[in-house]
Chain A
Amino acid sequence: MAEGSQEPGALLVVENLHYAYATNYALRGVSFTVAERSIHGFVGPNGAGKTTTLKILATLLSSHHGKVRVFGMDLGTDCRAVRRRLGFMPDHFGLYRQMSVFECLDFFAAAYGLDLGERTSVIEAVLTLTDMQGRRDELIRNLSRGMQQRVSLARVLVHDPDLLLLDEPASGLDPRARIEMMEIFKELRRMGKTIFVSSHILSELADLCDSVTIIDRGEARYSGSMEGLQALAGETADYVLALQEPCPGVQAALEGLEGVKGVERLHEDGAEYRVAFDRTVVDTNAILCAVMAEGGCVTSFAPDKRHLSEAFMELTSPGVP
Chain B
Amino acid sequence: MNMPALAFFSRAMRRQVTGLWPCLFRSGLLAIAFLFLLAVFGASAGLSAPGLTAFQVVAFLNLAFITLAGFGYFATAITEEKSEMMLGLLKMTGLSPVSILLGKSTTRLLAALIVLLVQVPLSLLATTLGGVSWLQFWAVYAALAAYVIFLSSLGLLCSVLCASSTRAGMLTFAVVVLLFALPNLGAGLAGSGWLSGTVGAGVGQASDFLDECLVTSRFTEVFETGFSGAVVGVQFASNFLGGILLFLAAWGLFGLLTREQKEAAPRRGLLPRRTRAVRWLGAGRCWKRALTWKDFHFIAGGYSWGVGKLLVYAAVAALLTFSMAGEFEVPIFALVLQGVAVGGTLLEVSAFAGRLFNLEKTWKTLAGLMMLPMNLRELFGQKCLACLLALIPNAALFFFAFLLNPQDSAAYMVEILENPSLSGLVAGGLVLGTVFVMLVATFSLVLKHGALLVSVGIFVVGSCFVTPVFGIFGVMGGSGLQFAVAALVCGSVVFILGRMMVVLVRRAAAAE
Q: How many residues of A contact B (CB 8 A)?
A: 36
Residues in A55-75 with C-beta less than 8 Å from chain B: 55, 58-62
Report the interface size for chain B: residues with CB under 8 A from the other chain.
Answer: 33
Query: Within the complex, which residue of B266, B375, B506 is in contact with A96, where a contact is CB–CB below 8 Å?
Result: B266
The 8 Å CB contact of B265, one of A83, A88, A92, A97, is A97
B509 and A103 within 8 A (CB): no
Q: Is the interface of B mostly helix, strand, loop or mixed?
A: loop
When distances are taken between beta carbons in the complex, the residues of chain A under 8 Å from B266 are: 96-98, 141
Residues 256-294 of B, flagged 1 when their CB comes within 8 A of A and 0 if not, give 000000000111110001110000000101111011011
Chain B residue contacts of A139, Cβ below 8 A: 268, 273
Please indicate which of the listed interface residues B285, B363, B368 has the most CB atoms of chain A within 10 Å of its own CB: B368
* Chain B residues near A109 (CB-CB < 8 A): 286
Task: List A contacts of B283 (CB < 8 A).
Answer: 99, 103
Residue in B closest to A88 when the chains form the complex, CB atoms: B371
Q: Are B373 and A61 in contact (CB under 8 A)?
A: no
In the bound complex, CA of A88 to CA of B375 (Å)? 17
Chain B residues lying within 8 Å of A94, measured Cβ to Cβ, are: 364-365, 367-368, 512
Partner of A80, one of B286, B373, B509: B373
**Which A residues, 71 to 103, have Cβ-Cβ distances below 8 Å to chain B?**
80, 83-84, 86, 88, 90, 92, 94-100, 102-103
A58, B370: Cα distance in complex, Å:
10
CB distance from B260 to the nearest CB of A (A): 15
Check B286–A84 contact: CB distance below 8 A.
no
Q: How far is the CB of B133 from chain A (nearest CB, A)?
A: 55
Q: Is B372 an interface residue (CB 8 A)?
A: yes
Main secondary structure of the interface of A (DSSP, over half): mixed
Specify which chain A residues have a CB less than 8 angstroms from the CB of B370 in the assembled complex: 59-60
Complex Cα gap A80–B268 (Å): 31
Note all chain B residues with C-beta closer than 8 A to A58: 367, 371
Chain A hits for B273, CB < 8 A: 100, 137, 139
CB–CB B373/A100 < 8 A: no
Given contacts A98-B268, A112-B373, contact A137 B291 (CB under 8 A): no
Among residues 147 to 187 in chain A, which have CB atoms less than 8 Å away from a CB atom of chain B?
155
Chain A residues lying within 8 Å of B374, measured Cβ to Cβ, are 111
Chain A positions 110-167 with a Cβ under 8 Å from a chain B Cβ: 110-113, 116, 119, 137, 139, 141, 155
Which of the residues B291, B293, B371 comes within 8 Å of A86, measured between beta carbons?
B371
Interchain CA distance A121-B367 in the complex, whole Å: 26
- A321 CB to nearest chain B CB (Å): 19
Which residues of chain A are near B367, meaning CB under 8 Å? 58, 60, 88, 90, 94
Residues of B66-85 contacting chain A, CB below 8 A: none
Which B residues lie within 8 Å of A219 (CB)?
Answer: none
A301 interface residue, CB < 8 Å from B? Answer: no
Does B177 belong to the interface (CB within 8 Å)? no
Residue of A nearest to B262 (CB): A141
* Contacting pair B375 A80 (CB below 8 A): yes
Which residues of B approach A to under 8 Å, CB–CB? 265-269, 273-275, 283, 285-288, 290-291, 293-294, 298, 363-365, 367-368, 370-375, 506, 509-510, 512
A-B contact pairs, 22 of them (CB 8 A): A58-B367, A60-B371, A60-B510, A83-B371, A83-B372, A83-B373, A92-B512, A95-B368, A97-B265, A97-B266, A97-B363, A98-B266, A98-B267, A98-B268, A99-B268, A102-B274, A107-B290, A109-B286, A111-B290, A111-B372, A111-B374, A155-B368
Further 11 A-B residue pairs, CB within 8 A, beyond A92-B364, A96-B365? A60-B367, A60-B371, A86-B371, A88-B368, A94-B365, A95-B368, A98-B266, A100-B274, A106-B286, A112-B372, A112-B373
